[in-house]
Each structure stands twice: as C-alpha cells, then as structure tokens.
A and B are shown apart, each in its own frame.
Chain A
Amino acid sequence: DAGVTQSPTHLIKTRGQQVTLRCSPKSGHDTVSWYQQALGQGPQFIFQYYEEEERQRGNFPDRFSGHQFPNYSSELNVNALLLGDSALYLCASSTGQGSYEQYFGPGTRLTVT
C-alpha cells in the first residue's frame, strides 16, 4: 500500500518565478492538506482540498493556490516566488469525514534564489 507521495523531491527556483508541486494521497484517502515548514519551524497549514474544492485555508496569501483532481491527487502552485517561500512543503492526506489523523509525505524542498 503506497503512502503519500510527493514530487519533485527538490526544486530550485528564482524570485518571481512560479512553481507547481504535486501530491498523491494514501490509498483510500480523499482529502489533501498542504503545509509549509520553514527551516527550524513546525509545519504551518496552507490549505486543504476535499471533493476538488478548497475547504479551508490558513494564513497564506493568494499567491498560494491549489487544485485537486478527480483521483484525489493535488497540486500546490506558488506564483511570484519570494525568498521567504523557501521551505519544505508537506502534503498530508486523510479521509474526508472530519478525521484529524493525517499521513504525511516526504515533502518537497523548495529553494528560492
């Protein structure tokens, strides 16, 4: 049973560019959440997707957007990259019925230069 997978593993971008990160949830899970983990910090909630719609959003600007596909996989898009966007981006999957138990992927390390 495959767990949560994310791609790519690492990414280097330049300020002002746009980036897309991808996530496939654990088998049987239909909800995907995205978190940003800056160096030395705990993960911070960006947003959550369920039934192909954004269900909840954390305190992140509109430069951060996402999408969920019919197969429950998800993308995180970040526009107009800033140096401060450099972080580990974690995807977590869960079931849609109010389950707090989330399974995390290995993350994508984004470096903005």
Chain B
Amino acid sequence: AQSVTQPDIHITVSEGASLELRCNYSYGATPYLFWYVQSPGQGLQLLLKYFSGDTLVQGIKGFEAEFKRSQSSFNLRKPSVHWSDAAEYFCAVGAETGANNLFFGTGTRLTVIP
C-alpha cells in the first residue's frame, strides 16, 4: 500500500540559507508525487508535482524537488530561503488504485530565523 514518510517534524533555517525537506514514499509502481505548502489557518497550495520524465522538477516560489527511485525519495529543495517560506510542508503520493486521491505525510514545519 502507498504511504509517505516525512522524517523531520520541525526544521529551522536562517533566512538566505539553503533548505532540503525529506520525503520517502512507498509505492508499487511509478508514483505520482506532490509537495504542498500550508500557511497557518490556510488550505494547501501545490508547490510542484512529479508524474514522469525528468526527475528534477521545478515548482513555484523557487522550489524544486528530485525524484530518486533507488532511494524512494522525493526531497524538496530551495537554494535561498525567505522569511515568507515559513509554513508547514506536506509531501503526498497518489493512490495506486481507485480514485485519484492523495496520501499525505505528517508534514514538516519550517521556521525561518531572520
């Protein structure tokens, strides 16, 4: 069965520093993978998605993620973090069968220090 693990509950980085958020998935075939961001009290905004093809995908707000099948990972990166990036980040994988619903990880909370 599909599942997603986000090993880091909380990460703190300084503004301007680089960022990497980890995501590991469990899936039988080629997965559909997503990263969403959630600001306090808000819904989820799609940052980027991977369906197939190039394993390095670019998203909005300067984020990118790399799909590594051998490591079952889909880590999110940003070269220089801005204070406005402070939020909760969720990795998700599409369901293997049935409807096109998503399975989410438990999220990583990002704090940005000035």
Contact = CB atoms under 8 A, between A and B. Distances in A.
Interface of A: 4, 31, 33, 40-45, 48, 50, 55-56, 58, 90, 92, 94, 98-107, 109
B101 A98 contact: no
Contact of A43 (B46, B51, B98, B104): B104
Given A4-B43, A40-B106, 16 more contacts: A31-B100, A40-B107, A42-B4, A42-B90, A43-B90, A44-B104, A50-B99, A56-B101, A58-B101, A92-B44, A100-B34, A102-B100, A103-B46, A104-B43, A106-B43, A109-B41
Contacts, number: 64
A90 B43 contact: yes
A33 B43 CA distance: 14
Interface of B: 4, 32, 34, 36, 41-46, 49, 51, 90, 92, 94-95, 98-107
Contacts of B92: 42
Nearest to B36: A104
Given A42-B105, A42-B107, A105 B100 contact: no
Contact of B99 (A4, A40, A55, A107): A55
Q: Which of A45, A94, A100 has the most CB of B within 10 A?
A: A100
B43 A105 contact: yes
B106 A106 contact: no
B90 A56 contact: no
Q: Which 7 A-B pairs rank lowest in CB-CB distance, beginning with the nearest?
A: A56-B99, A42-B104, A100-B94, A104-B44, A104-B43, A45-B101, A106-B43
